[in-house]
Structure 1
Amino acid sequence: MRHPSVLWFLLALSAFTLGVTFLSDAFGIGLLSTSFVKTLGKTLCLCLVAIAMDVVWGYCGILSLGHFAFFGIGGYAIGMWLMYARTERIVEASLAEAPLPPTEQEVIDAIGVQIFGVVGSSEFPALWAFADSLALQLLMVALVPGLLALVFGWLAFRSRVTGVYLSILTQAMTLALSLYLFQNDSGLRGNNGLSGLQNIPGFEAVPQSVISIVFLWASALALGLGYVLFAWVVSGKMGSVIRAIRDDEARVRFLGYHVESYKLFVFTLTAIVAGIAGALYYPQAGIINPAEIAPIASIYLAVWVAIGGRGRLYGAVIGAAFVSLLSSWFTGGGAPDIPLGFYTIQWTDWWLVLLGVSFVVVTLFFPKGIGGLFDHLVRKDP
């Protein structure tokens, strides 16, 4: 009751999810294609990682240019199991026709050839030690981003690195990770990445239209829970301390608060949530490669939050959804070309320019972003 915007957001999210289900091919009247339902499901995942970015930047004042790396790590973690389990089924079906039953090692070797043959290898790297276990890989979705953020944050915050220097460090971390993953000997198939993730093992007979709705609901549930979680984090005494750190870190430290602990908590928690968002996103996208973790992706994430309205949870959602769907429309050929006689504007080439100009305009003239237009609807933002 203290934060009615949370309730309004959950009601709007529920109505949106039910509406898409009703209009889908799987359970509705078929007005929305399966590909568009997947686009909407992926957009919900991007909204979740945008909320995480808003909490760490808009509320705590840490401009992290590496949070999309945690998003990608979550995608790689679940993608390893998806690819292993799917390949295992294919290999077992193929070897079942052999005159002699295959040994367990022969099955593993055949799976390795299928997965890593594209990079000239056939042996499983140590990274794939738990790829055959869904439970352990789901644990890795949260554990690996959380541990990476914990170690990085502890080293950075204890050294009291702040401002632009911290942003550069987070960007350097992201760049180092993406460059490592581009190597064929990284254990994750280099530039080829992990593909075929939309084929869920054990559900081969289920049409993609049904799977897309299942992931839409899972993404909506994760977004709703994430919104409630972060609304709690930024409320009450904890939220006041976090915002005070953003506004005047030295004064908060002088008052006796252990600033580093608060910053480390926020940085680690948002990294875990970003990993969960990535684990839901990439099975809908169908593929993940190192380009998804490049520093530019984290910069886009900051742009979404700025356009939506930094320091407002619903603003981050609005910004991510607005820019993501608009990007799909412009780059997917939905926006018509504009002939000028001497030159034809093709939006597939000019979309990024338009996005950059929009970011500059919002920063200069509308610092509260799109979400600022809704401030009059609620007395206090969560």
Structure 2
Amino acid sequence: MIRSVLAHNSSVLLFLACLGVFTIGVTALSEIAGTGLISTSFIKTLGKTLCLCLIALAMDLVWGYTGILSLGHFAFFGLGGYMIGMWLMYERTHNIVTASLSNNVIPPTASEIEAAIGNQIFGVVGSSDFPIIWILSHSLALQLILVAAVPGLLALIFGWLAFRSRVTGVYLSILTQAMTLALALYLFQNDSGLRGNNGLSGLQNLPGLNSVPQATVSLWLFWASAFALGLGYLFASWIVSGKFGSVLRAIRDDEARVRFLGYPVESYKLIIFTVSAVIAGIAGALYYPQAGIINPAEITPIASIYLAVWVAIGGRGRLYGAVIGAASVSLVSTWFTGGQVPPISLGFYTINWVDWWQVVLGLSFVLVTLFAPKGIGGLLDLWTGHKRPNRHGKDLGPCSGALQEREAEI
């Protein structure tokens, strides 16, 4: 599989090499290596950025390659974060409770320990009982399975209902947005079982590693994020490099023709939608232990709209474009909103970039749409001299409308 991907897409090896050099460089400049040129907080920012690049890959698969503008992919991202957050919060609270109760003259029973854990976690919403959705929270292995299974199952059910009804275009985008909004509103409720507006907190404290400094934990999570992004990029490249990827691009360009040729369009769309949701869930599971907290505000529709903007700025239909777009916007956003950019005084008004950053982002999206529709990735194509196939305006094979084998490999 790897040899086939590298043969069909030479940019994969270059991307993996750049990612490896970047990871080694950050490690060498970290506090753990002794140099301390990169702070622990910035390493967390870089790790979170890599996770955002991974969900941008998932978004590019459904939008850039298949033409499905999903405005709800951050729902899958958030669900992945909630699944791993449940285990992190349960296990950390379990360790604290058992340590405090170990000094009792009479050892506590299992039910007393469970009640104390429930009171610690859910006391903030006026409860002490474990909801049914926490039944597997004691097991890391099972929660890791849920990280992929829950987003994937939601995408499978939603996609099956939407695609079998042949909902397309802006109507599908509205449906995905409505799904995200409904999930966020449900999670905001205190009786949702996930602590309502309070969300899950303290996720940066990995259970059993209390004696390990945060600098080390942050670097471990950074490595995990880089490894996941590398695997995700390789997997996404494998998907789009073969016949399956050619059918996805054909669906994007002319769905009706693909259906008339006998391909099960709905099945292809359902598969890629579900796979991308699983990738988004994995990205979320790596992101929130570095962020330290997750709450329903993280998965409101505006977050998914930002995701679409990242991919558009980077260049949809190009995996490296999605990564570049997500990384660029994330790091520039941190720079602007972190107070590192001095305000500009106009005399009658002072521009504070913390307040104006979203305007800059929106303006960038408009400018890219109007003047550089291929995004930053398109500019890289011009710089490297790489030409993408023009699938319109001429015969592409022995018969009108056929696809040349050379183009099928791109």
CA contact (8 A) 1:21 1:28 kept: no
In the alignment, what sits opposite 1:306?
Answer: 312
Select 1:130's aligned residue among 117, 132, 136: 136
Percent identical among aligned pairs is 74
Residue 27 of structure 1, CA deviation: 2.3
In the other structure, the counterpart of 1:48 is 54
Matched, 1:147 2:179: no
CA distance in 2, matches of 1:99, 1:237: 68
State the match for 1:249 in structure 2. Answer: 255
Distance 2:42 2:105 in 1: 46
1:227-242 equivalences in 2 (<5 Å): 227-242=233-248
Which residue does the alignment assign to 1:166?
172
Q: For 1:373, which of 371, 379, 394 is the aligned residue?
A: 379
* Alignment counterpart, residue 338 of structure 2, candidates 319, 327, 332: 332
Q: Which amino acid aligns with 1:184?
A: N
- Residue type of the alignment partner of 1:312: R
Residues in 1 aligned to 2:113 and 2:191: alpha-carbon distance in whole angstroms: 22
1:276-311 residue CA offsets vs partner (Å, 9 max, x unmatched): 000000000000000001000000000000000010
Aligned with 2:369 (options 350, 363, 369): 363
In structure 1, C-alpha distance between the alignment counterparts of 2:14 and 2:60, rounded to whole Å: 19
Name the residue aligned to 2:89: 83
Find the counterpart in structure 2 of residue 273 from structure 1.
279
In structure 2, the gaps of 5 or more residues are 1-6, 390-409
Q: CA deviation at 1:380?
A: 5.6
Q: Distance in 1 between matches of 2:263 and 2:83?
A: 36
2:119 is matched with which residue? 113
Per-residue Cα deviation, 1:334-375 (whole angstroms, up to 9, x for no partner)? 111001111100000000011001100100110000111111
Name the amino acid aligned to 1:224.
G
Aligned-pair CA distance for 1:76: 0.2
Determine if contact 1:3/1:380 at 8 Å carries over to the other structure. Answer: no
Q: Deviations over 1:172-227 (max 9, x none)?
A: 00000000000000000000000000000011110010011111110001000000
CA distance in 2, matches of 1:109, 1:346: 48
- Give the match for residue 270 of structure 2: 264
TM-score normalised by length of structure 2: 0.92
CA deviation string 1:90-141 (max 9, x = no partner): 0001101112000000000000000000000000000100000000000000
Q: Partner of 2:8: helix, strand, or coil?
A: coil
Instruction: Give the aligned partner of residue 192 of structure 2.
Output: 186
Aligned equivalents of 1:300 and 1:238: distance in 2? Answer: 28
Give the 4+ runs in structure 1 shifted more than 2 A: 376-382
Q: Give the whole-Å Cα distance in 1 for the aligned partners of 2:347 and 2:79.
A: 46
Q: Do 2:121 and 2:128's aligned partners in 1 also have CA atoms closer than 8 Å?
A: yes
Secondary structure of the corresponding residue to residue 203 of structure 1: coil
Amino acid across the alignment from 1:141 = V
Looking at structure 1, the residues matched to 191 and 32 of structure 2 have their Cα atoms a distance apart, in angstroms, of 41
Matched, 1:211 2:217: yes
Across the aligned residues of Structure 1 and Structure 2, the Cα RMSD in angstroms comes to 0.9
Aligned residues, how many? 382
The TM-score normalised by the length of structure 1 is: 0.99
Q: Identify the range of structure 1 (231-240 vs 34-43) with the bigger mean alpha-carbon deviation.
A: 231-240
- Asked if 1:25 corresponds to 2:49, the answer is no
Alpha carbons 2:93, 2:117 under 8 Å: kept? yes
| Contact 2:8–2:241 under 8 Å retained in 1 | no
With 21-30 and 261-270 compared, the bigger mean Cα shift is at: 21-30
Task: Find the aligned partners of 1:366 and 1:32 in 2 and give their Cα distance.
Answer: 34
How many Å apart are 1:2 and its aligned residue?
2.8
Out of 305, 323, 328, which is 1:322 matched to?
Answer: 328
What CA distance in whole angstroms lies between the structure 2 residues aligned with 1:379 and 1:3? 13
In the alignment, residue 102 of structure 2 is paired with which amino acid? A
1:89 maps to a residue whose letter is N
Q: What is the CA deviation profile of residues 127-168 of structure 1, one whole-angstrom value per residue up to 9, with x for unaligned ones?
A: 100000000000000000000000000010000000000000
Distance 2:234 2:99 in 1: 45
Give the Cα separation in 1 of the matches to 2:344 and 2:104: 60
Question: Do 2:9 and 2:241's aligned partners in 1 also have CA atoms closer than 8 Å?
Answer: no
Offset, 1:379: 5.3
Residue matched to 2:20: 14
Question: 1:28: how far off?
Answer: 4.2
Deviation at 1:3, TM superposition (A): 1.2
Given residue 222 of structure 1, which amino acid in structure 2 is its aligned partner?
Answer: A
Establish whether residue 93 from structure 1 lines up as the match of residue 99 from structure 2.
yes
Which residue of structure 1 aligns with residue 8 of structure 2? 2
